[in-house]
Structure 1
Amino acid sequence: MTPIVMGLRRGWIEIRHTFTTPIDLWAYLFPTVLLLGTVFFMRNSTVPGTSFSLGARTLPSVFGMGLVLGGLMTTAQQLIVDREDGTLLRAKAVPDGMRSYLTGKVVLVGGMTLVGFLLQLVPGLFLVDGLSIDAGGWLTLLWLVPLGFLATLPLGAAIGSLFDDPRNMALVTLPLFGAIAISGIFYPITGFPGWLQGLAQVFPLYWLGLGMRSVFLPDALAAVEIGQSWRHLETFGVLTVWALIGMVLAPVLLRRMARRESGSAVAARRERALSRVGR
Structure 2
Amino acid sequence: MLRGWTEFRQTLTSLSDLGSYLLNSVIFLAILLFMSDNGMENTELSGTGVTQATLALPGVLAMTLVFGGLLTMAQLLATDREDGTLLRAKAIPRGTHGYLVGKVVSVSLMTLLSMLVILVPAVLAIDGFQFTARGALTLLWVIALGFLATLPIGAILGSLFSNPRTVVGILMLLLMGLVVVSGIFFPITLLPEWAQWIAQVFPIYWLGLGMRSGMLPDTATVEEIGESWRHLETVGVLGAWAVVGLALAPVVLRRMARRESGASLEERRHRAMQRVG
How far apart in 2 are the matches of 1:78 and 1:9? 18
What is the match of residue 262 of structure 2?
A: 263
Q: Judging changes above 3 Å, is the alpha-carbon distance between structure 1 residues 276 and 23 closer, same or farther for their aligned structure 2 residues?
A: farther
How far apart in 1 are the matches of 2:195 and 2:55? 20
How far apart in 2 are the matches of 1:271 and 1:40? 47
What is the match of residue 89 of structure 1?
A: 87
Kindly state the Cα deviation for residue 146 of structure 1 after the two structures are TM-superposed.
1.5
Computed over aligned residues only, the root mean square deviation of the Cα atoms, in angstroms, reads 1.4
Q: Given the alignment of the two structures, is residue 15 of structure 1 paired with residue 8 of structure 2, yes or no?
A: yes
Per the alignment, in what secondary structure is the counterpart of residue 67 of structure 1?
helix
- % identical equivalent positions: 55
Kindly state the Cα deviation for residue 153 of structure 1 after the two structures are TM-superposed.
0.8
What is the match of residue 113 of structure 1?
A: 111
How far apart in 2 are the matches of 1:164 and 1:64? 28
Task: Say which of 60, 71, 77 aligns to 2:69.
Answer: 71
Q: Given the alignment of the two structures, is residue 132 of structure 1 paired with residue 135 of structure 2, yes or no?
A: no
Contact 1:147–1:239 (8 Å) recurs in 2? yes
Q: Which runs of 5+ in 2 are unaligned?
A: none
Map 1:1-279 onto structure 2 (within 5 A): 8-43=1-36, 44-45=39-40, 46=43, 48-50=45-47, 52-169=50-167, 170-277=169-276, 279=277
Q: Judging changes above 3 Å, is the alpha-carbon distance between structure 1 residues 148 and 91 closer, same or farther for their aligned structure 2 residues?
A: same
Deviations 1:93-125 (A, max 9, x none): 000101111110111111101110110111111
Kindly state the Cα deviation for residue 33 of structure 1 after the two structures are TM-superposed.
2.1
How far apart in 2 are the matches of 1:14 and 1:202? 33
Letter paired with 1:10? R
Letter paired with 1:115? L
Per the alignment, in what secondary structure is the counterpart of residue 173 of structure 1?
helix
Q: Judging changes above 3 Å, is the alpha-carbon distance between structure 1 residues 138 and 52 closer, same or farther for their aligned structure 2 residues?
A: closer
Kindly state the Cα deviation for residue 187 of structure 1 after the two structures are TM-superposed.
1.2
Kindly state the Cα deviation for residue 47 of structure 1 after the two structures are TM-superposed.
5.1
Kindly state the Cα deviation for residue 68 of structure 1 after the two structures are TM-superposed.
1.0
Kindly state the Cα deviation for residue 9 of structure 1 after the two structures are TM-superposed.
1.6
Kindly state the Cα deviation for residue 191 of structure 1 after the two structures are TM-superposed.
1.0
What is the match of residue 4 of structure 1?
A: none
Kindly state the Cα deviation for residue 273 of structure 1 after the two structures are TM-superposed.
2.5
Contact 1:64–1:205 (8 Å) recurs in 2? yes
How far apart in 2 are the matches of 1:145 and 1:163? 27
* TM-score normalised over the length of structure 2: 0.93
How far apart in 2 are the matches of 1:63 and 1:31? 11
Paired positions, count: 271
Deviations 1:79-100 (A, max 9, x none): 1000001000001000010111
Contact 1:41–1:55 (8 Å) recurs in 2? no
How far apart in 1 are the matches of 2:240 and 2:124? 36
How far apart in 2 are the matches of 1:100 and 1:52? 45
After TM superposition, the structure 1 stretch with the greater mean CA deviation from structure 2, 29-38 or 230-239, is 29-38
Letter paired with 1:34? I
What is the match of residue 3 of structure 1?
A: none
Per the alignment, in what secondary structure is the counterpart of residue 234 of structure 2?
helix
After TM superposition, the structure 1 stretch with the greater mean CA deviation from structure 2, 179-188 or 139-148, is 139-148
How far apart in 1 are the matches of 2:255 and 2:113? 32
* TM-score normalised over the length of structure 1: 0.93
